[in-house]
Amino acid sequence: MEAELRKDIKAGLKGKTPHEILKAMGYPHPSEKNMHRLENVLTSKTLGLKDGGFDLKYSTPEFLVALSKVARLDEQEVRQRIGNINQDVSDDWQAFKPYIWVDTHFKRTTQPLFALAACESFRYVSFPKGFWQLSLEQQLAKAQTLVREHMAETDGTLKMWGDIQEYWFFYEPRKAYRLAPDGAVLGKHNGPVSNSASVTI
């Protein structure tokens, strides 16, 4: 959606310099800041709508509308497309992002807390943007593949945490599939899970 609008805008702006574009948008004396904003909008995956930004002339949506006018696109259609992109950005922002927690059945003995904190990120595996939009069946299949890849890359061991025993694929805040190191489903869990280091005294 964003890519299509960006492609249409760029096609309509072909042959025009950034200075010419900004002047046509109503900037009588385009500044370096204006130039930078134009470049960011045209290279941003969400056309700058997720990044925000404004100047004394335009908010981000209105900047896009003005830019689209210079590209000779229909204003009403562009506003509708911007609204759709904004909705997608909002949905993505609010959605729970599935992730994998790597479980080594770790129990802390003498390991310093600062060292554990520094290595905490090793126990989490994330997915690409938009993964949450896939069906649960598709998510699970990709999670199983990622588990096998992770095992191969780590040789089944995490620095500080020990040997990997299983993986927890969280597809909702308190819902997870337990996966074996080979990706096989071990079970399904509903409810809170303690995914912090246990302490042995």
Residues of the chain with pLDDT > 70, as a percent, come to: 90
Give the mean model confidence (pLDDT) for residues 7-24. Answer: 95
Give the mean model confidence (pLDDT) for residues 184-189. Answer: 94
Return the axis-axis angle of helices 75-94 and 2-13, rounded to nearest 10°.
Answer: 140
Instruction: HSE, CB side, 13 Å, CA atoms: give it for residue 132.
Output: 16
199 SS3 class: strand
Reply yes or no on whether the pLDDT at 199 is more than 60: no
Highest mean pLDDT among 40-44, 154-158, 175-179, 193-197: 175-179
Q: Hey, what are 115's tokens? A: 């060292």
Give the mean model confidence (pLDDT) for residues 141-162. Answer: 91
Give the mean model confidence (pLDDT) for residues 50-69. Answer: 83
d(CA 179, CA 8) in angstroms, rounded, equals 44
pLDDT band at 160 (very low <50, low <70, confident <90, very high): confident
State pTM to two decimals.
Answer: 0.55
Write down the pLDDT at residue 146: 94
Q: Determine which of 40-49, 62-71, 139-148, 151-160 has the lowest per-residue pLDDT on average.
A: 40-49
8 SS3 class: helix
pLDDT band at 177 (very low <50, low <70, confident <90, very high): very high
Give the mean model confidence (pLDDT) for residues 102-122. Answer: 77
Reply yes or no on whether the pLDDT at 137 is more than 60: yes
Measured over the CA atoms of residue 126, residue 169, residue 116 and residue 164, the dihedral's sign is negative
* Mean pLDDT, rounded, of the chain: 86
d(CA 38, CA 90) in angstroms, rounded, equals 23
d(CA 82, CA 42) in angstroms, rounded, equals 14
Write down the pLDDT at residue 90: 73
Measured over the CA atoms of residue 52, residue 56, residue 59 and residue 65, the dihedral's sign is negative
End-to-end CA distance of the chain: give it in Å, rounded.
55
pLDDT band at 21 (very low <50, low <70, confident <90, very high): very high
d(CA 56, CA 176) in angstroms, rounded, equals 48
Tell me the DSSP string of 31-62.
-HHHHHHHHHHHHSTTTTTTT--B-SS-BHHH
Give the mean model confidence (pLDDT) for residues 102-113. Answer: 79
Tell me the DSSP string of 136-196.
HHHHHHHHHHHHHHHHHHHTTEETTTEE--EEEEEEETTEEEEE-TTS-EEEEEES----S
Q: Determine which of 128-132, 144-148, 174-178 has the lowest per-residue pLDDT on average.
A: 128-132
pLDDT band at 197 (very low <50, low <70, confident <90, very high): very low
